[in-house]
């Protein structure tokens, strides 16, 4: 069965960076794009960007363009999202989610990773 398993919660200080991982299993890793979506406490969902695990091409939301980096390791079927220059407003749950090739949806989601930014 398809599973996306994310790394554990993180606490970071303002100005630091965080790297969240998302390990995929149960399907062919390189056939599905992976997206990152975040949710601040009590707030809605915000799309951050996407990576094509096959070639590594990426597309980021403009507001994160200069602070986010999405990478993948095909040998371990893992994607990573690194966010730098953290500020308190980046406190959120970060989700990875899979996009099938045939339709533009997010059909499987990771369990979420809480990143807390606090001095």
Partner 1 sequence: DIQMTQSPSSLSASVGDRVTITCRASQSISSYLNWYQQKPGKAPKLLIYAASSLQSGVPPRFSGSGSGTDFTLIISSLQPEDFATYYCQQSYRTPWTFGQGTKVEIK
Task: Return residues touching partner 1 (CB under 8 A).
Answer: 35, 37, 44-47, 49-50, 59, 61-62, 95, 97, 103-107, 109-112
Residue 63 or 87 with smaller CB distance to partner 1: 63
Token output for 33: 């794009």
Q: In the complex, what is the shortest distance from the CB of residue 9 to partner 1, in angstroms, rounded to a whole number?
A: 13
CB contact at 8 A, 116 and 9: yes
Residue (of 71, 76, 112) closest to 93 by Cα position: 112
Residue 73 or 107 with smaller CB distance to partner 1: 107
Q: What are the residues whose beta carbons fall under 8 Å from the beta carbon of 114, sequence distance 6 or more?
A: 9, 10, 92, 93, 94
Q: In the complex, what is the shortest distance from the CB of residue 105 to partner 1, in angstroms, rounded to a whole number?
A: 4
How large is the greatest C-alpha to C-alpha distance in the chain, in angstroms? 44
Q: In the complex, what is the shortest distance from the CB of residue 35 to partner 1, in angstroms, rounded to a whole number?
A: 8
- Integer CA distances (angstroms), 13 to 49, 78, 109, 112, in order: 23, 26, 27, 20
Q: In the complex, what is the shortest distance from the CB of residue 58 to partner 1, in angstroms, rounded to a whole number?
A: 11
Residue 16 or 45 with smaller CB distance to partner 1: 45
Residue 8 or 119 with smaller CB distance to partner 1: 8
């Amino acid at each position: 069965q398809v599973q996306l398993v994310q790394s554990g919660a993180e606490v970071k200080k303002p100005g630091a960076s965080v790297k969240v991982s998302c390990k995929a299993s149960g399907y062919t890793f390189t056939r599905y794009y992976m997206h990152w979506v975040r949710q601040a406490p009590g707030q809605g969902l915000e799309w951050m960007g996407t990576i094509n695990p096959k070639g590594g091409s990426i597309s980021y939301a403009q507001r994160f363009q200069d602070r986010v980096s999405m990478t993948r390791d095909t040998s371990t079927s893992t994607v990573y999202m690194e966010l730098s220059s953290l500020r308190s407003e980046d406190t959120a749950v970060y989700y990875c989610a899979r996009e099938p090739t045939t339709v533009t949806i997010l059909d499987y989601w990771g369990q979420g990773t809480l990143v807390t930014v606090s001095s």
